[in-house]
Amino acid sequence: MDKERALELAGGVTALAKILGIAKSSVSAWVEIPQARVWQLKVIRPKWFRKQKQEAKRTKKSTDSLKALHN
């Protein structure tokens, strides 16, 4: 998940910082969300990641289908 999407889902820097239990200055300093924070969000807000998981499954099925056609 990228920072902009997380901020959108949370409702801003202050809200995301509160969800994660960290200072908003920490969130503001991120260029990308640290992997440990992504995992934390997956535990705290799993619904935020369900769509990504479904898209990944669709992409894998499409890739597998294309591979089968070329073999």
Give per-residue pLDDT as tens, 19-63.
999 999 999 999 999 999 999 999 999 999 987 655 555 555 555
Token pair for 13: 């820097």
3-state secondary structure the chain: CCHHHHHHHHCCHHHHHHHHCCCHHHHHHCCCCCHHHHHHHHHHCCHHHHHHHHHHHHHHHHHHHHHHHHC
Domains of the chain: total: 1
The whole domain housing 16 covers 3-70
Straight-line distance from the first to the last Cα atom of the chain, in angstroms, rounded to the nearest whole number: 34
Token pair for 34: 């640290």
Position 23 scores a pLDDT of 98
